[in-house]
Structure 1
Amino acid sequence: MDSTTSSPTTVPLTSPTSRAEYWDTYYARSGSSGLPVPSQFAVFVAGELGGPHRVVDVGCGNGRDSLFFLLHGHQVVGIDASQVAIERCRDRADQLALGGDFVRASILEPRFAELLPDGDLPTAVYARFFLHAITDEEEAAFLSSIRDFTRPGDVVALEYRSVRDVSLEKVTGQHYRRYVDPARFNADLVKHGFTITYAVEGFGFAKYKNDDAYVARVCLTRD
């Protein structure tokens, strides 16, 4: 068992069903009007994309980054296991007349890639704070899935809490977290047929109130 599974969590949310129910409750308490502020990572990734892409936002949550990519001329497919989150994203996109596709799906579904609407643009798979919110089994399925529905030259951009974040303060301490070892994960990415084009770790990338997460960012291209 590697270091990602031995890290502590504050609630036993290891099953997809229990986590989906948790996030349904979480997003039901949040508002869904107006245009939310995008994450720092979304702004960074948008600056790295050379032109319009089909951005597949895996674990899109409240849609803050999906909406940002839509505003910047990209086609967007937002994916989340929470039905409430997906409904909130659709409502927000409709209110702002931005379009986009939002799909409720679990990464463990056998035909996950077939749930994605077709697109004629190059694909950019985007996942912020998703990787550390899933299990080892789901991580393996995620890497296999993005390998299946991307083509050579497509882009993947990921941001997640690393193992160095385990003991740091958390504003949302009740969330399930599986802290990831970047060295181990980057090696897995290469094994799945991706080339790492950018990788960095540190503080200051994802500050939220008193929570200055120690995160890793990695950008890839599909071989």
Structure 2
Amino acid sequence: MAAIDNIRYMAHKATSWLQVGSKLEASAEIGNYWEEYYKHASPKTAPSLFAKFVINTYPERTCILDIGCGDGRDSIFFATEGKTVVGIDASESAIRVCKSRAAQMNGSCTFDEAVVSKDYFNTLDLGLDFRVSQSVIYSRFFLHAVVEEVEDCFLDSAMNFLDRGALLCIEFRTLADAELRKVEKEHFRRFISPTILMNKCLMRGMNSLHLRVGRGLAPYGDEDPMIARMVFSGRV
């Protein structure tokens, strides 16, 4: 299975770059798509199944850092559950929506427009109420929406949090999802090998706490994608 996964990964990676061109062009294409998407899309109100899973599985965690928060649906949900939440997204339109929603609720929820980079995480001010040792680094549908170099930066930065007691909870589209039906129009999706991503995390010193791959995890309309969920702790 791992060998087949690796072959799929290499084929998909080559095809992706043929379609989108250089890395800079890919990043620009991704940013433009999501900026326009959040300008016109109606914000989702119900939390994702992944957000519910995280709340139910790790109720003792008091703080959430939501990377790639989009329109804030899960960030707002976490805040209404009493968590201290910081949401980050590169889309100005998305963060505008998030801040508007946060202003209408009671709860500790702040948002920041930013591109994932090591420099950003090194200077990130999470606020006095954010306890890293009691936190979850949460990322749903972010990794498959960015180029691999951003993924690697994200994992490196997350490891710094995990070594201070945080958990990493990620959900993403797998290679097996590439040929399945999609509701949203065609745009950049970097389908990910769970085997390869798991190895990346383990090589950084993360400890795997949870792994599930399958359908039924993120249904959307008549779309039922093939998803992977992973949870990691650090070396502490």
Q: One fold, TM greater than 0.5? A: yes
For structure 2, list consecutive stretches of 5 or more residues without a partner in the other structure.
1-8
SS at match of 2:64: strand
Of 118-127 and 21-30, more deviation after overlay is shown by 118-127
Rounded to whole Å, the distance in 1 between the matches of 2:65 and 2:190 is: 22
**Amino acid corresponding to residue 14 of structure 2 in structure 1:** S
Within 5 A, what are the aligned runs for 1:36-115?
36-108=45-117, 110-115=119-124
Cα distance in 2, alignment partners of residues 26 and 47 from structure 1 = 30
Q: Secondary structure at the match of 1:38?
A: coil
What are the Cα deviations for residues 160-207 of structure 1, in whole angstroms up to 9, with x where unaligned?
000100100111132311111001110110111210011010011111
- 1:5 maps to 2:13: yes
Alpha-carbon shift at residue 127 of structure 1 (Å): 0.5
How far apart are 1:109 and its partner, in Å?
5.5
User: For residues 15 and 159 of structure 2, what CA distance do their matches in structure 1 show?
Assistant: 27
What is the match of residue 39 of structure 2?
28
Does 2:149 align with 1:161? no
Aligned to 2:126: 117
How far off is 1:27 after superposition?
0.4
Q: Is there any run of 5+ residues in structure 1 with no aligned partner, and where?
A: none
Q: Deviations over 1:49-85 (max 9, x none)?
A: 1324220110000111001100111110101000110
Q: TM-score, normalised by structure 2?
A: 0.86
| Counterpart in the other structure of 2:4 | none
CA shift at 1:19, angstroms?
Answer: 1.9
Length, aligned pairs only: 221
Cα 1:50–1:25 change in 2 (3 A) is: same
Q: Identity over the aligned pairs, expressed in percent?
A: 32
Q: Which amino acid aligns with 1:78?
A: G
CA RMSD, Structure 1 to Structure 2 (Å): 2.2
1:196 equivalent to 2:208? Answer: yes
Cα distance in structure 1, aligned partners of 2:152 and 2:67: 14
2:231 partner letter: C
Over 3 Å counting, the alpha-carbon distance change for 1:65 and 1:7 in structure 2 is farther
Structure 2 match to 1:15 = 26
* Cα distance between partner residues in 1 of 2:182 and 2:118: 30
Question: 2:225 is matched with which residue?
Answer: 213
Structure 1 residues 210 and 8: CA distance shift in structure 2, 3 A: farther
1:144 paired with 2:156, answer yes
* Closer/same/farther in 2, CA of residues 9 and 173 from structure 1, 3 Å limit: farther
Q: Deviations over 1:136-179 (max 9, x none)?
A: 11111111111123434321111100010010011113231111
- Answer with 17-26 or 60-69: which moved more: 17-26
Return the structure number with greater helix share.
2
Amino acid at match of 1:12: V
Please say if residues 138 and 170 of structure 2, whose CA atoms lie closer than 8 Å, have aligned partners that are also in contact. yes
After TM superposition, the structure 1 stretch with the greater mean CA deviation from structure 2, 16-25 or 83-92, is: 16-25
